[in-house]
């Protein structure tokens, strides 16, 4: 397999990397996560203007590709900068669902506004007590009324519209609920890594026919593909965060002196650094493989393999980088501490290492 990026993907990667370096330094990020919104509308508008939302959408809806490599290139660089803007929630999950061929109602009409940066989305699917069980849906849609609750909705408090999964008369239904809908209660909060999530409840929220994005088998397919894209995007984001931790640690080993020499001269630290670099290259290989298999029939198996491996390696990188930095590695003023938190949190979103390792074994045995 040729692991080299095409010229177009290299240009996209360089563009995102340059934007993050110039517009998203540590001080800027710190101000953003401390703000009430939890993201920067100005930064989000610039990301949209650069075409990054369009980059992860298929060409038939005006996107620029939407392939696994497209998602990987963008998410890796956003992960390197631990960018907290709601890209996963709005672009990868939300916009990706509206762009599906089976999508109906007012959903597809929202897409242009989403791509332009004027509308934020969030997928409200996982429910209290479900943990990582994506098949558990107790939220109901009966007689045009939505009732139930959703938990840890990524970007839920920032979204203008939620895409909610519920049990309807025709099986699974995906419905659009505006942020100001009567009967909806939402509690937004910051996660451990500075990102945003929400707990949402619905008490007889009115759902019109135009609010229904899909039902039955079409809804199941749209949801499954969205979760797959989201899982893969997290793997790519994790890879970028690992590289951030690696580069920061290498620089620290070169500049921190002890007994009159840089601590990078000590063989034990050299060995630990080599192990870290090798593990990150292994993570890159599995993410590239998952990217190439994202549209294949056995994509789920490769996604679980990638999520399990990047979860394990991400934790290892976070722990090793912090330890090699010593006490300073856990201080709030150091970027590494925030990178480490993000790596740990990514492992828990959409299924942790143990969950996906068991899932991979199950899928492999069934093949």
Q: Nearest 10 degrees: CA dihedral of 245, 66, 15, 279?
A: 20
How many beta carbons lie within 10 A of that of residue 31, not counting itself? 10
pLDDT at res. 366: 84
Q: Nearest 10 degrees: CA dihedral of 349, 353, 359, 364?
A: 130
pLDDT at res. 5: 87
Query: H helices within the chain, ranges in order?
Result: 7-23, 26-34, 41-49, 52-55, 68-80, 87, 96-98, 107-115, 216-255, 267-292, 299-325, 335-348, 353-366
CA angle in degrees (0–180, nearest 5) for 159-160-163 = 75
Cα distance between residue 170 and residue 345, in whole Å: 35
Cα distance between residue 174 and residue 161, in whole Å: 12
Cα distance between residue 304 and residue 307, in whole Å: 5
Cα distance between residue 336 and residue 244, in whole Å: 8
Listed in order, strand segments (DSSP E) in 155-195 are 161-168, 171-178, 184-190
pLDDT at res. 2: 59
Q: Give, for all 367 residues of the chain, the pLDDT tens digit.
A: 556 888 999 999 999 999 999 999 999 999 999 999 999 999 999 999 999 999 999 999 989 889 999 999 999 999 999 999 999 999 999 999 999 999 999 999 999 999 999 999 999 999 999 999 999 999 999 999 999 999 999 999 999 999 999 999 989 999 999 999 999 999 999 999 999 999 999 999 999 999 999 999 999 999 999 999 999 999 999 999 999 999 999 999 999 999 999 999 999 999 999 999 999 999 999 999 999 999 998 999 999 999 999 999 999 999 999 999 998 999 989 999 999 999 999 999 999 999 999 999 999 998 6
89, 159 in Cβ contact below 8 A?
Answer: yes
pLDDT at res. 316: 97
At 310 the three-state DSSP class reads helix
Phi, psi of 139 (to 5 degrees): -60, 135
By C-alpha distance, which of 181, 160, 26 is closest to 89?
A: 160
pLDDT at res. 177: 98
pTM score, two decimals? 0.96
By C-alpha distance, which of 173, 238, 248 is closest to 208?
A: 173
């Amino acid at each position: 397999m040729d692991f080299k990026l095409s010229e177009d993907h290299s240009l996209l990667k360089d563009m995102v990397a340059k934007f993050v370096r110039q517009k998203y330094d540590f001080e800027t990020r710190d101000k953003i996560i401390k703000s009430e919104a939890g993201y920067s509308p100005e930064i989000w508008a610039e990301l949209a203007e650069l075409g990054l939302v369009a980059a992860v959408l298929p060409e038939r809806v005006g996107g620029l590709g939407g392939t696994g490599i497209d998602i990987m290139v963008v998410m890796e660089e956003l992960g390197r900068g631990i960018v907290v803007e709601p890209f996963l929630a709005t672009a990868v999950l939300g916009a990706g669902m509206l762009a599906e061929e089976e999508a109906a109602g007012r959903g597809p009409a929202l897409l242009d506004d989403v791509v332009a940066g004027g509308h934020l989305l969030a997928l409200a699917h996982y429910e209290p007590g479900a943990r990582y069980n994506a098949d558990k849906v107790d939220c109901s849609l009966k007689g045009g009324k939505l009732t139930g609750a959703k938990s840890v909705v990524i970007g839920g408090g920032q979204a203008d519209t939620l895409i909610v999964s519920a049990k309807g008369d025709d099986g699974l239904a995906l419905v659009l609920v505006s942020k100001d809908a009567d009967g909806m209660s939402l509690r937004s909060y910051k996660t451990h890594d500075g990102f945003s999530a929400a707990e949402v409840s619905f008490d007889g929220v009115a759902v019109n026919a135009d609010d229904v994005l899909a039902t039955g088998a079409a809804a199941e397919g749209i949801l499954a593909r969205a979760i797959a894209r989201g899982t893969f995007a997290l793997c790519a984001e994790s890879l970028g965060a690992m590289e951030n931790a690696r580069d920061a640690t290498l620089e620290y080993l070169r500049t921190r002196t002890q007994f009159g020499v840089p601590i990078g001269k000590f063989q034990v630290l050299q060995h630990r650094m080599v192990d870290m670099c090798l593990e990150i290259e292994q993570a890159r290989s599995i993410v590239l493989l998952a990217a190439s298999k994202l549209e294949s029939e056995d994509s789920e198996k490769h996604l679980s393999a990638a999520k399990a491996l990047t979860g394990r390696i991400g934790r290892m990188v976070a722990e090793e980088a912090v330890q090699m930095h010593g006490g300073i590695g856990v201080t709030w003023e150091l970027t590494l501490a925030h990178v480490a938190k993000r790596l740990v949190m990514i492992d828990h979103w959409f299924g942790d290492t143990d969950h996906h390792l068991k899932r991979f074994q199950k899928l492999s045995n069934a093949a």
